[in-house]
């Protein structure tokens, strides 16, 4: 038990240090999110639009610039979280393989990667919530932050999954960008104010999008949709862990015997 906990904390520390050394990830996290929100504010009019929020079963009237900023924040955090998780997983493939062949415990390694995604999503959500709170009259910053964290967790899990499956970095980046654009585009309240798109509720951001818009623009909080986003987060994270487990080599017989003798 002590060995597993030590392995978990050490790999978590190494993973987080790897994120800090990734300059592109830091630039995306610090600069891209507020810039993308500012672009939405400047390029969207203050014309009042009516938005259908199925989470609270009502039509909401709000300035298009405010709704656009919330949608842009979700899109930005999905891309950043997905990029960070994908880059770390893809670049650490060979190191993880060597650690496992040397007898490093598999479960602590997988859980450390998932914990790193969760911490990254929480920090990105906290930062993005502050930016939106400065730019908007946010009604419920707490639930809004929860929605943003859910978006980061969902796409962080997708980044883990792609980092274990694709053969090249360009392929992974392209898939993350396209999925994020389709997901946020179909649910952008500025473009689809009253239109119901078939199958949109099956997309990763549906629950967090409904929760974020309701929390930012209305006095109501659809907590049930937070559970929906948590389901997506659990599904993507669980699938990513399964793929990581099946695509990583097992420890060699010699390392197993060494561990047994040492125990």
Q: What percent of the chain has pLDDT over 70?
A: 89
Q: What percent of the chain has pLDDT over 90?
A: 25
H or E element at residue 60: strand 58-63
CA-wise closest residue to 87 among 8, 182, 20: 20
Length of the chain: 263
> 172 pLDDT exceeds 70?
yes
Mean local confidence (pLDDT), 203-218 = 88
Q: What mean pLDDT is reported for the chain?
A: 83
96 CB-contact burial (10 Å; exposed 0-12 / middle 13-18 / buried 19+) = buried
> 248 pLDDT exceeds 70?
no
Place 79 in a pLDDT band, splitting at 50, 70 and 90.
very high
**pTM of this structure:** 0.86
Q: How far apart are CA 221 and CA 223, in angstroms?
A: 6
Q: How far apart are CA 43 and CA 79, in angstroms?
A: 20
Place 259 in a pLDDT band, splitting at 50, 70 and 90.
very low
Structure tokens at 103: 């007898």
For 32-44, how does the pLDDT look when each residue is reduced to its tens digit (9 = 90+)? 999 999 998 888 8
CA-wise closest residue to 218 among 40, 66, 39, 78: 66
Q: How far apart are CA 169 and CA 89, in angstroms?
A: 11
Whole-number pLDDT of residue 81: 93
Place 60 in a pLDDT band, splitting at 50, 70 and 90.
confident
> 119 pLDDT exceeds 60?
yes
Mean local confidence (pLDDT), 2-23 = 81
> 165 pLDDT exceeds 50?
yes
Whole-number pLDDT of residue 262: 42
Mean local confidence (pLDDT), 164-178 = 89
Mean local confidence (pLDDT), 173-199 = 79
H or E element at residue 52: strand 48-53
How far CA 217 is from CA of 18, 78, 199, in Å, comes to 37, 21, 24
Greatest Cα pair distance in the chain: 72
């Amino acid at each position: 038990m002590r060995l597993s906990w030590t392995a978990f904390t050490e790999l978590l520390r190494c993973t987080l240090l790897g994120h800090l050394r990734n300059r592109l990830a830091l630039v995306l996290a610090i600069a891209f999110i507020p810039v993308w929100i500012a672009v939405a504010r400047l390029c969207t009019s203050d014309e009042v639009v009516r938005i259908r929020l199925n989470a609270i079963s009502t039509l909401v009237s709000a300035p298009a610039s405010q709704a656009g900023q919330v949608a842009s924040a979700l899109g930005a955090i999905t891309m950043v979280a997905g990029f960070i998780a994908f880059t770390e997983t893809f670049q650490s493939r060979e190191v993880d393989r060597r650690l496992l062949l040397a007898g490093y415990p598999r479960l602590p390694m997988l859980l450390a990667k998932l914990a790193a995604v969760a911490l990254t999503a929480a920090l990105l959500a906290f930062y993005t919530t502050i930016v939106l709170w400065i730019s908007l009259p946010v009604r419920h910053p707490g639930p809004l932050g929860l929605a943003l964290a859910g978006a980061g967790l969902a796409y962080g899990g997708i980044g883990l999954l792609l980092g274990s499956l694709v053969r090249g970095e360009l392929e992974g980046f392209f898939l993350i960008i396209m999925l994020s654009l389709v997901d946020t585009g179909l649910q952008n309240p500025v473009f689809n104010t009253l239109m119901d798109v078939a199958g949109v509720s099956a997309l990763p951001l549906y629950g967090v999008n409904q929760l974020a818009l309701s929390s930012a623009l209305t006095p109501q909080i659809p907590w049930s949709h937070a559970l929906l986003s948590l389901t997506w987060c659990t599904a993507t994270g669980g699938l990513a862990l399964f793929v990581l487990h099946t695509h990583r080599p097992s420890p060699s017989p010699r390392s197993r015997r060494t561990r047994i003798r040492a125990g």
